[in-house]
Amino acid sequence: MSDRILKNGRVIEDDRLIVQLAEGEAAADIAVPAGPVLVPLAVWQARRDELLARARSGALGVWLAAGEEVAALAADLEVLQVIGLHFPKFTDGRSYSAATLLRSRYGYQGELRAIGEVLRDQFNYMTRCGFDALQPRAGRYTAEQLEAAISSIDDFTQPYQRSVKDPLPLFRRVERGADPQVQP
């Protein structure tokens, strides 16, 4: 079954499965399905050598739970073509920080995917932090709602703060002339 996701400003069909560990299930023992998948960091760490070829081909990516350290993937960033960052609830912003770190400090160039409680109101902020793929929870939005949400990515044409997308704050990006009202 494929889901619709927003990727690079377009709605696309995506059949990448997000593998999750059940309570008590060991990362080394979980069955990793064939086809495109995102596996939890623990599975990647336990079975890296076995999964490396699939990661190089782009069929396998890794996802981090909110609060897991980005540094755990630092040595593998050139191999991983897809990294997912989980939002367990809309009020948990730790994955915003992880995305910013991956893009700015670690220079990650692959697909950065927001997964979990990914809400339309946050699409703009997510892309500003470096996400290029947004995967709301299955059933959250209809195809029509996702199409309409594309415009919300650019809700703010000139954000004041700096971000991964705009490294300079607005006052550094905009040239202003002298105010004719001000007398020297």
Instruction: Give me the pLDDT at residue 125, please.
Output: 86
Is 178 domain-assigned? Answer: no
Is 50 domain-assigned? Answer: yes
Which H or E run contains 85? strand 82-87
The 3 state secondary structure assigned to 7-75 is: ECCEEEEECCEECCCCCCCCCCCCCCCCCCEEEEHHHHHHHHHHHHHHHHHCCEEEEECCCCCHHHHHH
Which H or E run contains 171? helix 170-173
Closest CA to 47 of 32, 35, 34, 57: 32
Closest CA to 96 of 67, 138, 74, 135: 67
How does pLDDT run across 21-75, given as a tens digit for each residue? 988 899 999 999 999 999 999 999 999 999 999 999 999 999 999 999 999 999 9
How does pLDDT run across 7-30, given as a tens digit for each residue? 998 899 999 999 999 888 999 999
Is 183 domain-assigned? Answer: no
Contacts of 175 (CB under 8 A, 6+ apart): none
Greater pLDDT, 123 or 165? 123
How does pLDDT run across 114-156, given as a tens digit for each residue? 999 998 888 888 988 899 999 998 888 888 888 888 877 766 6
Closest CA to 51 of 68, 64, 65, 34: 34
Is 98 domain-assigned? Answer: yes
Are 102 and 112 in contact by the 8 Å Cβ rule? The answer is yes
Greater pLDDT, 86 or 174? 86
Is 148 domain-assigned? Answer: yes
pLDDT band at residue 183 using 50, 70 and 90 as cut-offs:
low
Instruction: Give me the pLDDT at residue 106, please.
Output: 97
Q: Which amino acid is at 155?
A: D
Contacts of 22 (CB under 8 A, 6+ apart): none
Is 184 domain-assigned? Answer: no
CA 66 – CA 96 distance, rounded (Å): 9
Ramachandran angles phi, psi of 98, nearest 5°: -60, -40
Residue 147: CATH number of its domain: 3.20.20
Instruction: Give me the pLDDT at residue 121, please.
Output: 84
Q: Show the domain range for 73.
A: 3-173
Are 6 and 150 in contact by the 8 Å Cβ rule? The answer is yes
C-alpha torsion 132→135→141→145, nearest 10: 10
Q: How many domains does the chain have?
A: 1
Is 17 domain-assigned? Answer: yes
